[in-house]
A and B are shown apart, each in its own frame.
Chain A
Amino acid sequence: MENKKDIKALISEYFIFIIFVALVVVLTIMKPSFISGRNLGNILKQASINGILAFGMMFVIISGGFDMSVGSTLAFAGVLAALLGKGQVPLIVPMLVAMIAGLGVGILNGVGIAVGNLPAFIMTLGTQTGIRGLALLVCGGNPVTGLSEQYRAIAAGTILGIPNLAVFLIVVIIICSFVATKTVYGRRVYSCGGNVQAARVAGINTSFIRVSTFAIAGLLAGLCGFLMTSRVTIGQPTAGESYEMDAITACVVGGVSMSGGVGKPWGVIIGTLLITVIANGLDILGVSAYWQKIIKGLIIVGAVLMDVKGKGRKN
């Protein structure tokens, strides 16, 4: 009986993972080309920007917050990167500028929320709108074109057959997972989200922790802006609309609790891949975009519902 209970607990713990594997198997049977190296590379490429955003979002949600502004931040940083990426400036410059811009927005969010005591939803809704305006302002509303050859090559190129974008994602995953699970800082993010008052009494600087999680989300959104500009080869001030929703979806599907304090990096990886695989799989099956949205919605709610039910039984 002990053994049976363990298996049950294991299944409920890794439920999303099981769904993911099942989905991959089904898609492979229906369309063997799904599993081809080329398509897998494609999936990684498509997953990269949402994945990086989702990892920033993971820190925010685990610490008990919520960030609606990452899509706008991405666009703002992307436009700045495009303006700097036209000439012969070394690419590190637009990349750093984009990340610093994102960091700035993140810190602004964090200070408003942790120090100004604004609800996270309101504060980031404000920056979502405001920063989008700023993105439009710096480029006069027109997409920034004429990127240098080398900048465009970033998103198009590969290293050892792996798309560059995926390499960025993998590096971000490794660093974020390490920070979340291995460092004192990571532990404190979980403590804050679990019970911010108890964390404060325990001597943790909770304001700093909360500001820093928004800063991480902003920084990564800035990086995504830099990558996005390379991928679409223009600096689009309207880029990344509703990307925050995809990032939140990846987190929630991956088991990050919206009430804070709970969530594992591997879950966010699976959440990101699940969303991408759904889109990619339906694409190669030739399902229409309208149906894709409907099916995506059903799978998101269904997956989380079954996950919640599974956990409920355990208690």
Chain B
Amino acid sequence: MDYILDMQNISKTFPGVKALDGVQLQVKPGEVHALMGENGAGKSTLMKILMGIYTMDEGGSITFDGKPYRVHSPKEAMDTGIAMIHQELNPILDMTVYENIFVGREISKGGLVDKKAEIEEAKRLIAECGLHVSPTETLRNLTVAQCQLIEIIKAISVNARVIIMDEPTAAITDREVELLFGHIRRLKEKGVAIIYISHRMDEIFTICDSVTVYRDGKYVGRGTTQELDEAALIKMMVGREITDVFPKLEAQIGETLFEANHITRADGRVKDVSISVKRGEILGIGGLVGAGRSELVEGIFGMHRLSGGEIIVKGRKVHVHSPSDIIKQGVALVTEDRKVTGLNLSGTVNDNISMVAIGKALVNGLYSRAKARKLSAEYIEKLKIKTPSGDQIVGNLSGGNQQKVVISKWLLNDPDIIIMDEPTRGIDVGAKRDIYLLIGSLVQQGKAVILISSEIPELMGVCDRIAVMAEGHLSGELGREAFSQESIMRLASDIAV
């Protein structure tokens, strides 16, 4: 069969870095083609070339539908037949569904927007997609998954023949993932090709037909999902064999360090939840997206008002009114969204690492750049943060390395209890493993860790105990001997009557 998209010998050089070095990608019509590689492998660079955001170096060739393809802007790419659904969705939240669908290519009559025609067309597209929203609804009122489907509708409405999906499942629930996969299968039947970028192995094997792997800007290989297995894929991505995806280090479990009893949030999103964790122990918190896990730890951390419950740290009751109250007691929270609540993206690595424990970077009561640099150098080395220097702006680092910066920021404060909310979301296999090993070494040092994760294998691999939440309450707790996918899923879908 002919390829709808054939990219050959693509290179892209940035000042000082070769982001892509003679890579290739071939996609057939009607297939879902996974593009894989660790962060920094060059996937997004390639997609940006395809969308006309970057220009490739001389010597490469792109053929689309048998014709040479050269675009200079995302609009041109869409007009030619290639659309992209970004990892960080960028809908215009205060505009309506139909306005979002037609933004940039409004249907007009004599220079005026033909609102009626737009609404009609939007209604048809929405129905075709099996979505139940009104075209005149404001996007702010929609869920992330619905917004994503609107993006897909937008891609369909331009008659895109290749749709790029960058981490489309990063922010949606399992049920919504199923819906999304349904839409992807329907697109396949229509002969639309999909380039699928994801770090989640199970998704790759569920929905994708073939895979192309890059490493450090170079093409490694390709294959079909039938002939490849998980271990082979990881080996291609990382360049070495990882036998043990979830390493667990032995640690001595001691006395209870932290208790949160009967936590109830004033906004009702968490109801009467009690958890505790011991020295040397890793407590997992599982549940579906929206079950109230992040809401629980944010409540404990003083970011939202509690209407009930008590917090006991190292045997002492703590009154928490703001994050600083609980930070002083030796508790740290690595928040879920590093870009929103974790990092000062315009600051340097040094600035960020010294944000919490700024007291350690002082000389005679004054902030010392030299001392901050020295402290952060220690963590850059310890956590293997890949950065040219501590003076690098954090926004320029890859996701996995940004996450390590957030963790360093908290570790510098020497906490005894570390809460991590989805610490491995959107980061690659190698960096994930580094984080598991780090968690292991923390509990070996006699600290306690609370780990929130949506990935059940991750929880089962790393934790000593798992508390499962559903609809804002605690639906059960399992010891390591009782771990199984089924038991966790059953508790996670336990709906209170």
B324 within 8 A of A: yes
Q: Which residue of B lies closest to A181 (CB)?
A: B367
A315 within 8 A of B: yes
A205 within 8 A of B: yes
Chain A proximity mask over B402-416: 1 for CB below 8 Å, otherwise 0? 000000010000000
> Which residues of A have CB within 8 Å of B129?
none
B288 within 8 A of A: no
Work out how many contacts link A and B, with CB atoms closer than 8 A: 83
Chain A proximity mask over B337-349: 1 for CB below 8 Å, otherwise 0? 0001111111100
> Which residues of A have CB within 8 Å of B342?
198, 201
Query: Contact: A194 with B367, CB < 8 Å?
Result: no
Assuming the contacts A202-B355, A261-B344, asked whether A183 and B16 have C-beta atoms less than 8 A apart, the reply is no
B301 within 8 A of A: yes
Interchain nearest-CB distance for B321 vs A (Å): 11
A262 within 8 A of B: yes
Q: Which residue of B lies closest to A200 (CB)?
A: B323
B303 within 8 A of A: yes
Query: Contact: B15 with A203, CB < 8 Å?
Result: no
CA distance A198 to B339 in the complex (A): 8
Chain B proximity mask over A38-59: 1 for CB below 8 Å, otherwise 0? 0000000000000000000000
Query: Contact: B327 with A314, CB < 8 Å?
Result: no
> Which residues of B have CB within 8 Å of A315?
396
Summarize A's interface: helix, strand, loop or mixed.
helix
Query: Contact: A197 with B362, CB < 8 Å?
Result: no
B366 within 8 A of A: yes
B335 within 8 A of A: yes
Interchain nearest-CB distance for B447 vs A (Å): 18
Q: Given A187, A199, A203, A259, which contacts B354 in the complex, CB threshold below 8 Å?
A: A187
CA distance A262 to B393 in the complex (A): 11
Query: Contact: A201 with B351, CB < 8 Å?
Result: no
B251 within 8 A of A: no
> Which residues of B have CB within 8 Å of A204?
324, 355
Query: Contact: B356 with A197, CB < 8 Å?
Result: no
> Which residues of B have CB within 8 Å of A5?
15-16
B119 within 8 A of A: no
Query: Contact: A194 with B346, CB < 8 Å?
Result: yes
Q: Given B301, B346, B359, B362, which contacts A261 in the complex, CB threshold below 8 Å?
A: B346
Interchain nearest-CB distance for A28 vs B (Å): 35
CA distance A182 to B366 in the complex (A): 5
Q: Which residue of A lies closest to B335 (CB)?
A: A201
Chain B proximity mask over A228-260: 1 for CB below 8 Å, otherwise 0? 000000000000000000000000000001011
Q: Which residue of A lies closest to B359 (CB)?
A: A184
A218 within 8 A of B: no
Query: Contact: B346 with A200, CB < 8 Å?
Result: no
CA distance A111 to B456 in the complex (A): 45
Query: Contact: A191 with B344, CB < 8 Å?
Result: yes
Chain A proximity mask over B342-377: 1 for CB below 8 Å, otherwise 0? 111111000100111011001000110000000000
B333 within 8 A of A: yes
A265 within 8 A of B: no
> Which residues of B have CB within 8 Å of A187?
351, 354-355, 358, 367
B108 within 8 A of A: no
CA distance A270 to B221 in the complex (A): 54
Assuming the contacts A184-B367, A195-B345, asked whether A201 and B16 have C-beta atoms less than 8 A apart, the reply is no
Chain A contacts with B in 162-208, Cβ cutoff 8 A = 181-184, 186-188, 190-191, 194-195, 197-205
Assuming the contacts A184-B358, A184-B362, asked whether A201 and B396 have C-beta atoms less than 8 A apart, the reply is no
Q: Which residue of A lies closest to B409 (CB)?
A: A202
Query: Contact: B367 with A201, CB < 8 Å?
Result: no
Query: Contact: B344 with A190, CB < 8 Å?
Result: yes
Chain A contacts with B in 136-176, Cβ cutoff 8 A = none
Q: Which residue of A lies closest to B16 (CB)?
A: A5
B307 within 8 A of A: no
CA distance A303 to B483 in the complex (A): 63
Chain A proximity mask over B312-335: 1 for CB below 8 Å, otherwise 0? 000000000011100110000101
Q: Which residue of A lies closest to B347 (CB)?
A: A194
Chain A contacts with B in 43-98, Cβ cutoff 8 A = none
> Which residues of A have CB within 8 Å of B347?
190-191, 194, 261
Q: Given B301, B333, B366, which contacts A183 in the complex, CB threshold below 8 Å?
A: B366
Assuming the contacts A183-B367, A187-B351, A201-B303, asked whether A195 and B327 have C-beta atoms less than 8 A apart, the reply is no
User: Would you give 16 A-B contacts (Cβ < 8 Å), ordered by A?
Assistant: A187-B354, A188-B358, A191-B351, A194-B345, A194-B347, A195-B343, A200-B322, A201-B323, A201-B341, A202-B327, A202-B355, A202-B409, A204-B355, A205-B322, A259-B346, A260-B346
By a beta-carbon cutoff of 8 Å, the part of chain B in contact with chain A is 15-16, 301, 303, 322-324, 327-328, 333, 335, 340-347, 351, 354-356, 358-359, 362, 366-367, 396, 409
The 10 closest A-B pairs by CB, nearest first: A194-B344, A203-B324, A203-B327, A261-B346, A195-B344, A182-B366, A197-B341, A202-B356, A202-B355, A194-B347
